[in-house]
Structure formats: C-alpha cells, structure tokens
Amino acid sequence: MRAMRCIPTDEIHFSIDIDAVKCSGMYIPENVDIPETMTVSLKGKSYLTRSGVILAELISNCNWKRPLYVAKSMQISEYLDLDDYLVLEGMAQRIVPFNARKLNKTVDADRCYENIMNKYSYGNMSDNTVYFDETNRRMAITMQRMICGAAEWMQSTGDTIRSSSMAARCLDEISNNDILLDEYSCADRLALISDSSLNKDIYSDIMKNRMEYVLWYLSFSDTDFILYADKLLRTLYSSIDPDLVDREYNEALSISEERFNILGMKDYAEFVGKMKKRIGDME
C-alpha cells in the first residue's frame, strides 16, 4: 500500500527568535512578553492545502526579519488558523507571534492612522460621475469596512480624536453615492464616529434610503415578499435608526408582522413582534 501523507498532530509549533521580533519594527503592545513558541491549531481541519503548507513554511523560515502580511479581505483561516495572530495596519494584516486577539490588540493604531490619513491614494471614489459596477463597489466597500473597523477599535480604546479624523477622511474620500447607499456599506457607522454636522446629514440620508428599501420590500407580491423576507428583517433589525424614521418605521413593523402572520411565517412574525416590544420599552 502507498504510504499515507499526514501530519500526526493537531497543532503546529513555530519557534520564535525573541530578539529578532523586538528588532522587526512590528507593533508590540506594552508589557507583552514575546512567547518562545507560536502555536497554531489544526483542530477541525481534515487536510492542509498546499497554500497552507507554504504559509507554514513562510512563518517557519522568515525569522521575523521580514514582515509577513495577508490581505484583510481574505479568509486566512482557510489556509491556517491564524486569526489570533493578525494585527491590522490599514488594508493589510501583519502576522505576529503573539496572540493579538486574546490581548485585544488587533490594530496597530499608529500605522493605521498614518496609512489611511497620509499614504493611501483613493482615486476617484468621491466622484459621482464615475460608474462603479458591482465588483468595484464591493472592493470600495471592503476598504471602507477596514477603515471603519480600525476607527471603531481606536474609539473603543479612547483614541477618539484620531478615530474621528479617520472616519471623516473615509467619508470624504469614499463618498460616491453608489457606495454610501449600498446595503453593505458601513457609512452610517463612520458618520457616527465622525464629529461633523455634514456627516450627520449623510447618516440621515442613509437611514431614509434604507427605509425606502423597506417600503419597497413591503410592496412585493407574496411570492417575492417571501424571497426577500430575510433582507427585510435584516434591514429593519440592524440597519435603520428608528429615531430618524419613527412613524414610517413603526408602520413598517406592523405591516411586516401582519404579512408574516397571513403567510404563515410565524417565526418571522414573532421576531417582528419582539422588535416592536423592544421599541415600546425604550419609549
């Protein structure tokens, strides 16, 4: 029989040159001891792809003298479970030898701020005469979400001035309406972080646009309404600020609950009912 190629362990251990890490220039949080070994779990994996093996080889042989980066938009866990060992520096995440997630130090605030505010070129993403097809729109939103994630993390650590500046810069540079009003856009979160009356107007416009989508979903025939039920609930639950569209929002909840009951979608109707109760308790 042919020998089976396998890795007889559920963990990979990488030896760490602590002195090389300290000289590498990577972000090292204060009072953090660099471990002598970096442990990557293989639990839940029945195989390693060639990409995973190559990534393991890169980590094993880099000696931390040359930085290793992965794009924020990629699912690195498909290759190796490195999610605990990634620090955001802007559009890319740097692989580090310490557990950044456990330490809640997953963002290099200084590098993020420098890259986003001073180094990146945003092209024409603020020009409403430029057409963004679906692919380009998704890429712009990916960039927007990365900046938003960094700004929210910095805000949570008390770095409010720089987080506000980053959010405002993102809204200024990535302000094409096709991007701002896209259902996957996080421009509303950026507007809340940014301390600007202009961006508060953007926030209001986004809420009104999403409310228009809700009313559009509610106008569908029963067949299409069922198909778009999840999108309707997602928009009602997590994408709209009820305080800005108070009357329309409450009416939409009542109409949604009624239609779900008529169509026998009891779980959906109960969920909307809980939303109505939550809003009533808040008033």
What's the CA gap between 212 and 55, in Å, rounded? 46
Going through the chain in order, the beta strands assigned E by DSSP cover 11-15, 37-41, 69-71, 86-88, 92-95
What's the CA gap between 126 and 138, in Å, rounded? 15
Domain boundaries, the chain: 11-103, 111-195, 210-283
What's the CA gap between 4 and 26, in Å, rounded? 39
Q: Give residue-wise pLDDT tens across range 39-92.
A: 998 887 777 888 888 999 999 998 888 899 998 888 888 788 899 999 999 989
What's the CA gap between 215 and 281, in Å, rounded? 24
pTM reported for the whole predicted model: 0.83
pLDDT surpasses 90 at 166: yes
pLDDT surpasses 70 at 29: yes
pLDDT for res 4: 52
Over residues 195-201, the mean pLDDT reads 78
The number of beta carbons lying within 10 Å of the beta carbon of residue 274 is: 11
- Sign for the CA dihedral angle at 13, 17, 20, 25 comes to positive
pLDDT surpasses 80 at 122: yes
For residue 266, the one-letter residue type is K
pLDDT surpasses 60 at 1: no
All residues at 6 or more sequence positions from 222 whose CB lies less than 8 Å from its CB, including other chains: 259, 263
